[in-house]
Amino acid sequence: MPETSPHKQPASASPETDVDVIVVGNGPVGATLGILLAQRGRQTIVLERRRRPYTLPRATSFDGETARLLAGCGTGSSLGRITEPATGYQWHSADGEVLLDIVFRTEGPYGWPDASTMHQPALEELLASRAAGLPGVTVVQGRQVVGIEEQDDRVVVTAEDEDGAAQTYTARWVVGCDGANSFVRDHLDVPVTDLGFSYEWLLCDVQLHESGEFVPTNVQICDPARPTTLVGSGPGHRRWEFMRLPGERAADLNREETAWRLLAPYGVTPDTATLLRSTTYIFQSRWAEQWRVGRVLLAGDAAHLMPPFAGQGMCSGIRDVVNLVWKLDLVMGGLAPESLLDTYTEERRAQVHKSILSSVQLGRVICVTDPVAAAERDSTILAGRRGRGPAVPDPALPLTEGLLHRRVDGSPISPAGEVVPQCQIRGLRGTGLFDDVVGRGFVLMLAEGADADLNAEQSAFLTDLGTHVVTLLPEDGTPQNMSVADVGGVYRTFLARHGADAVLIRPDYHVYGVASGLGAAAALVDDLRVRLALQSRVSVCAGQRLGFESI
């Protein structure tokens, strides 16, 4: 069940603009944003400089939380067709000793495998198919954006085709998802923090002639003679990456014969695989300090770049637009002031900063070419591993800034900011993942026996936000109109752990806040109203607005 617009009236562009939002860039991040906006009834144009879809892979995997976010685009039933669950991630020393061993679960805490490998063109094809089926999104290919001008309450975007012919488009908002060399970011002239941590690697994408099993799926070979990465990249595909060594010429590395020579020790030859691409790339570690200037915003690689070692580049971009879309929708619907969009930068920049630092830390450990330093690294890692079992790192970082339930001193009240897990529940329509059964958007979740006790004004406010109100029952409970059976017990355990009777969940699955005791739900709703700076609109027939969708 994809998220839809909560507004009573169909959303459309204002009379002064062509569309509500112009998205610059139709990679996975821009495509996801276009779909999410269209699902909320917003009119969107996606401008893509390439005339045809890019057929070569870039990203190779996404984590379980990102799978949950992509499923919100209405693609959940098809993700399994274009992906393969990753079994694990190991670091090996030069002599093959296992330095790090992480086992991935096929059913992670967000209802999806901890990690899934994918062939990026297949993901982009899936997103394109979904976008084509939505009336609110128009993808225009072969248009290079060359100008952006903000005029009062609209933005004028100028784009040129391959012949240099210019065309203008107007929108209420513009979001630059146009990658590392972003025109939108350069146009905004925002300050960028660059950690200066970068290395050049040879990337080799291959399509295997015969499918084989690689256990674990992903391996990092920490060999000072040549740090090397081996990762799955979807059904029938695999990637090898080889670091350029000190004193080695990039031109010598970036040759097809060099690629085959480096692949040969792994049994990859022209007889066993097709080399889809071999090219050198330099990863970077940087982020824009401002992600919004007036009516223009940044997302994905246009806003941040990070080393590949934690696999969080594309995932971070998907989180960006999922964080942004519901805020844009509330602002365009008159349900929140434009200042709400400032929380987008606050929240996501803080999260991305942590992801980049984590990726850099991994890179500093991996990119060691001095044998003595590598030996010291290996012994230190092995000493630290003794007595410890493998752990799965959770990429779903909690929010610490922005729109959260807070104490008087401004600090978040735990577990505000955490990502709510997802498991199987049973509703009137059957059993499935929580997001599919209950619905996406704001969710007010109540413990069994707790009474929402909302007045008409509070109920109208939740209805305006498109909120799903649901009560949790035991596994053997009988679902009713606004209750579900917690099949796995995950949600009831979550509430019990935090001593909560009510939890209010944001559309990006982060906890807004929890509360307990008499009037818990009402207090959370009022707190959100204040923080959104809203005046709840009570219908003359308020009593008719208390009904929520059956689950």
Quote the CA–CA distance of 31 and 179 in Å, as a whole number: 13
What pLDDT score does 542 carry? 33
What pLDDT score does 318 carry? 98
Q: Which of 262-276, 373-387, 419-433, 455-469 has the lowest mean pLDDT?
A: 373-387
Element (DSSP H or E) covering residue 373: helix 371-385
Residue 539 has pLDDT above 60, yes or no: no
pLDDT in tens, 498-531: 999 999 999 999 999 999 998 999 999 999 999 9
Mean pLDDT of 286-301: 98
**147 vs 547, residue with greater confidence:** 147
| Residue with the two structure tokens 């080799």 | 204
Global confidence as pTM = 0.94
Here the tokens at position 215 are 């256990």
| Residue with the two structure tokens 């709703």 | 525
Q: Which of 1-10, 95-104, 451-460 has the lowest mean pLDDT?
A: 1-10
Q: How many CA atoms lie within 13 A of 61 on its CB side?
A: 30
Mean pLDDT of 289-304: 98
State how far the alpha carbon of 506 is from the alpha carbons of 194, 241, 326, 445, 548, in Å: 31, 38, 9, 11, 17
HEC sequence for 142-191: CCEEEEEEEECCEEEEEEECCCCCEEEEEEEEEEECCCCCCHHHHHHCCC
Q: What is the DSSP letter of 302?
A: G
Instruction: Indicate the average pLDDT of the chain.
Output: 92
Close Cβ partners of 429 (under 8 Å, ≥ 6 residues apart): 437, 550, 551
Here the tokens at position 249 are 């010429």
Mean pLDDT of 356-360: 94
What pLDDT score does 4 carry? 67
What pLDDT score does 188 carry? 97
| Residue with the two structure tokens 């923090």 | 193
Quote the CA–CA distance of 319 and 299 in Å, as a whole number: 9
Quote the CA–CA distance of 536 and 220 in Å, as a whole number: 54
Mean pLDDT of 372-379: 96
Q: Are 30 and 177 in contact (CB under 8 A)?
A: yes
What is the DSSP annotation of 67-117? HHHHIIIIIHHHHHHHEEE--EEEEEETTS-EEEEEEPPSS-TTSS-SEEE
Residue 340 has pLDDT above 70, yes or no: yes
Q: Are 474 and 466 in contact (CB under 8 A)?
A: no
State how far the alpha carbon of 46 is from the alpha carbons of 152, 158, 348, in Å: 22, 13, 22
Quote the CA–CA distance of 174 and 297 in Å, as a whole number: 6
pLDDT band at 56 (very low <50, low <70, confident <90, very high): confident
What pLDDT score does 392 carry? 55
What pLDDT score does 477 carry? 95
Residue 179 has pLDDT above 80, yes or no: yes
Q: Is the peptide bond before 216 cis (omega within 30 degrees of 0)?
A: yes
pLDDT band at 10 (very low <50, low <70, confident <90, very high): very low
| Domains in the chain, CATH or no CATH each | 1-60+119-191+289-361 (3.50.50.60), 83-116+199-282+367-397 (3.30.9.10), 424-545 (3.40.30.120)
Q: Are 110 and 65 in contact (CB under 8 A)?
A: yes
What pLDDT score does 61 carry? 96
DSSP-derived 3-state class of residue 91:
strand
- Phi/psi for 57 (5° steps) reads -75, 150
What pLDDT score does 534 carry? 44
Residue 386 has pLDDT above 90, yes or no: no
| Residue of 451, 354, 359, 441 whose CA lies nearest to 401 | 354
Mean pLDDT of 154-178: 97
Q: Which of 59-68, 282-291, 386-395, 535-544 has the lowest mean pLDDT?
A: 535-544
Mean pLDDT of 12-35: 91
What pLDDT score does 384 carry? 82
Q: Are 326 and 441 in contact (CB under 8 A)?
A: yes
What pLDDT score does 213 carry? 84
Q: Where do runs of H (alpha helix) occur along 278-341?
A: 313-332
The percentage of residues in the chain with a pLDDT greater than 70, rounded to a whole number, is 93
Residue 91 has pLDDT above 80, yes or no: yes
What pLDDT score does 540 carry? 30
Q: Which amino acid is present at 133?
A: G
| Residue with the two structure tokens 């169909």 | 10
| Residue with the two structure tokens 């997103």 | 127
Here the tokens at position 310 are 């934690």
- Phi/psi for 371 (5° steps) reads -60, -40
What pLDDT score does 391 carry? 53
The percentage of residues in the chain with a pLDDT greater than 90, rounded to a whole number, is 86
pLDDT band at 538 (very low <50, low <70, confident <90, very high): very low
What is the DSSP annotation of 231-260? EE-STTEEEEEEEPPTT--HHHHSSHHHHH
pLDDT in tens, 268-280: 999 999 999 999 9
**Residue 314 CA to its chain's centroid (Å):** 7
Mean pLDDT of 163-191: 97
What pLDDT score does 13 carry? 60
Q: How many CA atoms lie within 13 A of 436 on its CB side?
A: 19
Mean pLDDT of 273-300: 97
pLDDT band at 8 (very low <50, low <70, confident <90, very high): very low
What pLDDT score does 284 carry? 95
Quote the CA–CA distance of 500 and 44 in Å, as a whole number: 40
